[in-house]
Structure 1
Amino acid sequence: MAPRLPRHPASALAERWTTMDGLDLFYRESQNPPPDAPVMMHLHGFGLSGRYLLPTAELLQDEFRTYVPDLPGFGRSVKPAKALDVPGLAHAAARFMDDRGASSATLVGNSMGCPVILEFAHHYPERIDRAVLVSPAGGMHNQPLTRAMSQLARDGGREPSALVRVATPDYLRFGVSSTAKMFSALMHYPSLERLLDLHIPTLVVLGDRDPLMPSPARVKEIASHIDNQMVLVVIEGAAHAINFSHPGELANIIRQFMADRPIVDDPDSPGHARAYELHRGMLRPPAEDAPDPQDSA
């Protein structure tokens, strides 16, 4: 039997349980989306639940049929007998969509959620409409584990203090053994290969204060290999957990991306967004006087 829900839900989204592959899985969903609203699923990062994604998801729930699952083994969802690697989590995300009756969706990921999206697109290209990759992690820049832990420690000092209260219970529940196994899975995952293989509209959002991200020079190098409709947005003042720290700015960027409108800054939200078009090896700001991403270092 699934555990009881808290008497006072912590989110404006409805809190639900379902059973998938014989395991209880916890998720949140929009309560009253428009009948024809496109599906949007938010995927959390390493060791975390979907809780820290809620500030952004809640701002979009009235425009999209929104889902925020705790993937198997994370958050309040039950751990499978064998910990899932990145492909396993991607397949679990697809089965969750089946469970919810969603044939396709736009996937919004943060950190580890981004490799999961890339793997989902690799196996289920017909089921992903668009990809939103926020602070993608898991590449060479985060190796070895000691370097990644140092990056996380530095990031912690740049995040809102409220994030500690949200993330700490998730990390403790995830455990040391699961952390080591998941880190190994991420380090062996071909993130760059999968990224270059994407053939759907893709939005990449980075924070200029994120110690887990590669340098702007490395971003430019990667951009030189892009052959896809891709937009890069840098949010000044943001670190790694952008979905939590800058929900207004991120939700504004996602809305414009989904509507195929030029990305412009939301003056009413903290942070300043600068957009660059990445397409066929070009890194072009939307206007001639737009600043270079190197300035965000």
Structure 2
Amino acid sequence: MPGWRERYVTVQGRRVFVRLGPDVPGTTPLVHVHGFAVSGTYLMPTAAALAHRATSLVPDLPGYGRSHGWGHVLGISSLAWALLETLDALGLARATLIGNSMGAPVCLEVAHSAPDRVAGIVLASPAGGVHNQPLVRALGQLARDAWRESPAMVRVVVPDYLRFGPMNALQLFSELMRFPSLERVLRTPVPTLAVLGSRDPLMPPLQRVREVGRLAPPQVTIAVIDGAAHAMNFSHPGELAHLIGCWLDGRDITDDPDQPGLTQVLRLDIGD
């Protein structure tokens, strides 16, 4: 994309690939964290839509995309550690993390382990927890979601899935489904925006989301994008970027005026 650069940094002797947007001086960087078994390529529509607000970075976590692996599949905690090491290698003392799917638990782990390094986190379709258990149920949810995503996603993610490998995918997916996302969100030490899609089968029903909203601490905001499935960073970049912009600015969350009727964003207040 115009104005974007590509770079490798070294983490524990291994090369990690990073996409870097145009420099926006005086801003807190936005770091976009990809989901399960894929690279950061599918995050680029939302990253590009936010690139004017702050310096934006889209890394491939170790073992994904164009980044070198560790010789074995890294779990959620290890990926969080590797993300922190990547921020160090890039010279980023503090950042706002924007994670999709598995990227959301990774961001949560970073926020809990190093809250001083995190200005805030955005959890787009945060996977993991009771709603995704047992594994056979989660696999069924994933299969239903595949039919709800944009057809253009196929050419973007299929090469990543094949490169990652089915055995690695099954091993990591099983760990991801057991990750206590809800508990981590309810105890988040940093400002947090959780964004769910109304057509995402991996997310709990709206009634359950409202229950979580009542339990959440004041620094947590929960919103729903009507019509979005799991990979909203790819399918609904304009709406998601607008929503994130409202949250970053401390403004009321509204529908995107530039795309009226495309989606509707619902703010779920704590006492709702």
1:202-236 Cα deviation digits (max 9, x unpaired): 11111111111011122122223212322221111
Shift of 1:192: 2.2
RCO comparison, higher one (Cα < 8 Å, 6+): 2
Shift of 1:237: 1.0
1:74-115 Cα deviation digits (max 9, x unpaired): 112111023211110111111111011111111001011111
Conserved? CA contact 2:142–2:202, under 8 Å: yes
Shift of 1:19: 1.8
CA distance in structure 1 between the aligned counterparts of 2:179 and 2:233, rounded to whole angstroms: 23
Runs of 4+ residues over 6 Å off in structure 1: none
SS across alignment from 2:152: helix
TM-score, structure 2 length as denominator? 0.95
- Pairing 1:201–2:217 present: no
CA distance in structure 1 between the aligned counterparts of 2:176 and 2:131, rounded to whole angstroms: 12
Structure 2 gaps of 5+ residues are: none
Residue 19 of structure 1: aligned partner: 10
RMSD, matched Cα? 1.5
Shift of 1:12: 5.4
TM-score, structure 1 length as denominator? 0.87
Choose from 169, 172, 189 the match for 1:179: 169
Paired amino acid for 2:56: T
CA distance in structure 2 between the aligned counterparts of 1:27 and 1:205, rounded to whole angstroms: 24
Residue 268 of structure 1: aligned partner: 258
1:120-140 Cα deviation digits (max 9, x unpaired): 111101111111110111112
What is the aligned-residue identity percentage?
A: 49
Residue 217 of structure 2: aligned partner: 227
Residue 21 of structure 2: aligned partner: 30
Aligned length: 270
1:260-289 Cα deviation digits (max 9, x unpaired): 0111111322322122223xxx23xxxxxx
Residue 71 of structure 2: aligned partner: 81
Residue 48 of structure 1: aligned partner: 38
- Pairing 1:163–2:153 present: yes
- Pairing 1:132–2:99 present: no
Residue 143 of structure 2: aligned partner: 153
CA distance in structure 2 between the aligned counterparts of 1:257 and 1:129, rounded to whole angstroms: 12
CA distance in structure 1 between the aligned counterparts of 2:194 and 2:179, rounded to whole angstroms: 19
